[in-house]
Amino acid sequence: MRFKALALVVAVLCLVGAAVPVLAVPAGFYQVTSPGPLDSFSIRLLIESADHFAIQSILFDLTGTEAVAPGTQSLVIDGSPFDIADTTGGTSIFVPIDTTHFRFDFSSFDPGDSFAFNWDPDIATDSSYGAIIAEQLGTKIDITTSLGVVSGVLAQDGDHLTALIASPVPEPGTLLLIGSGLVGLAARRRRSA
């Protein structure tokens, strides 16, 4: 009898496991890209969501950037971004926090959506400074989702900058394994009682 029950549980788990896809990136990702070339003055950031959770806001922290101007200075934001391409069916609100931090809040940023904007960062000592794409290197990005906050940093990727930010959600196969283990423990405890 025990063997039949065990065989039935294994067969069900195999069928369910075959129906649950295993994703290449466990639970999706968020990608932030600043297309190159790196010495370009035309700075555009593109944010794409391929995760399962909606984005509520994106915070940009420029304190890790370094301008090539004389002296070590981080980039600053002293004006509003422009040429904003909002998500499908949604709107964004630009929220300046201080000279090195700003964020966008979204009414709707669903999985599969994208958002883009142009901006002209400067340095604190020169409001007409012409920053190039390479100087955004080190920009920290915090993405607030319906699940929580995930973070990444813009890094060089060929002739452009990219931050690939993975969601901390386990893949479906992991959840299935944990669930089947809990069912097994509950069944064993019930039999021993």
Domain extent at residue 57: 29-165
Q: Is residue 149 part of a domain?
A: yes
In a domain, residue 3? The reply is no
Per the structure, the count of domains in the chain is: 1
Provide Rg for the chain, Cα atoms: 23
Helix, strand counts (H, E) of the chain? 2, 13
Is residue 106 included in any domain, yes or no?
yes
Are 102 and 95 in contact by the 8 Å Cβ rule? The answer is yes
The mean pLDDT value for 30-40 works out to: 86
Tokens of 6: 């065990």
The 10s digit of each residue's pLDDT in 90-115 is 899 999 999 999 999 999 988 888 89
> What CATH number does residue 149 fall under?
2.60.40
What pLDDT is recorded for position 22?
A: 31
Using CA atoms, how far apart are residues 113 and 55, in angstroms rounded to an integer?
Answer: 10
Would you state the structure tokens that stand for residue 47, as one six-digit string? 């944010």
Q: What is the pLDDT of residue 14?
A: 39
- Report d(CA 14, CA 10) in Å as an integer: 6
> Which amino acid would we find at residue 124?
A
Confidence category of residue 13, pLDDT binned at 50, 70, 90 = very low
pLDDT tens-digit readout, 47-81: 887 777 788 999 999 999 998 877 778 999 988 99
pLDDT greater than 70 at residue 124 = yes
Contact 96, 42 (CB under 8 A): no
Residue 11 lies in a domain: no
> What does the pLDDT read at residue 12?
38
The answer as to whether 140 is a domain residue is yes
Residue with tokens 């940023």: 109
